Structure 1
Amino acid sequence: MLMNKKILIVDDDPRNIFALKLTLKARGYAIESCIMAQEAFEILKSDPQFSVILMDMMMPGIDGYEAVRIIRNTPEIKHIPVVAVTAQAMPEDRQKCIDAGANDYVSKPIDVDLLITAIEKLI
């Protein structure tokens, strides 16, 4: 059913990854995860068949905004939809994520129903 739908979670907080993995696996998604943008690029280039990327926007090093821009400028992976996941919840923050190249935006703490809706719209 959904097991061919793979999601890459990129978040520097292992607790967020753990919670998202449990939630999404319970709904039948295949999940991979990493804690740094650079690692995400390597995963995506070796396997560009992800259905969606959940990208934390506030990470050390390469943040989510720059990571999304890099993804959008990399031909092999630019087609993969990105959902920005961030604790920044002001209206202008949503627009900043969309301007960076994200397809959708979900604020933390994550409303699982909103997240699933965002993912299903993009798959």
Structure 2
Amino acid sequence: MAKILIVDDQKSVLLTLEALLGKDGHLVTACTNAVEALHSLAQNTFDLVITDAVMPGSGDGYALTRTIRKQPLLAKTPVILLTGKREKADIEKGIESGVNDYVVKPIDPELLLAKIRNLLVKKPEDTVQFSSAAVNYKAEWETKTEIVTLSELGVTISSSVAVPVGKILRLNSPIFEEIGIPKVPLRIDSCEEIPGPEPLYRIQAHFVGITEKELSPIRLWIRARRNY
């Protein structure tokens, strides 16, 4: 169970999130604006914050996140930006403000809960595993890199270069062209060295700000590969 602060000016969204997170065993506190959220953060300790990007009046989700990141006691609190804005520029703005993940409305309950669990887990083996398909596609990065598995949550990468956990990047690979989606921003979740004569790292990364339009062809592609 985690203590989660949710911030949205729409009561219907708050009710939906409260029901979804409560059913998953979390203790939820709801706020309708950034000022209320900051007051709650000052009075209580939370394991995660989920905030809408655009809220009228007293601050938006981007400003709230930047404020959280500037406060030493809150700086490491995971933040998910939940919004209906689908443009890549908005996703980049969210990433630059310091959010850990960016979820596009309408909410996909399974995907949102998986992202929440993966942000809250303490050990890599506790991360949520989606159905995945084995692949061996070359990928352009700083050096020799290969996508090993692809799921609707993200990718597993084999690389001869270590990447810092938390780093946001875009990965070029023919696999995205084959699926028919643009390269989606990735956030590095873990980077483990694989014993061997040459440096090699197993990297887990999840998609940031993926839209339903992009998620659907990924699901169909994985389903087709698993039927081979």
Category of TM-score, reference length = shorter chain:
over 0.9
**Partner residue of 2:29?**
32
**Partner residue of 2:109?**
112
Choose from 47, 50, 58 the match for 1:51.
47
The root-mean-square deviation of aligned C-alpha atoms, in Å, is 0.9
1:76 partner SS: coil
For the residues of structure 2 that align with 1:22 and 1:35, how far apart are their CA atoms? Answer: 16
1:34-79 deviation digits (Å, cap 9, x = unpaired): 001011111111112x111001001012011111101111122112
For the residues of structure 1 that align with 2:92 and 2:117, how far apart are their CA atoms? Answer: 21
For the residues of structure 2 that align with 1:8 and 1:57, how far apart are their CA atoms? Answer: 14
TM-score for the superposition, normalised by structure 1: 0.92
Aligned pairs, number:
119
More strand per residue: 1 or 2?
Answer: 2
User: Aligned partner of 1:63: which letter?
Assistant: D
**Partner residue of 2:68?**
71
Q: Which runs of 4+ in 1 moved over 3 A?
A: none
**Partner residue of 2:148?**
none
* Structure with larger RCO (C-alpha < 8 A, sep 6+): 1
Taking only the aligned residue pairs, the percentage that are identical comes to 38
User: Aligned partner of 1:55: which letter?
Assistant: T
More helix per residue: 1 or 2?
Answer: 1
Extract unaligned runs of 5+ from structure 1.
Answer: none
User: Aligned partner of 1:34: which letter?
Assistant: C
TM-score for the superposition, normalised by structure 2: 0.51
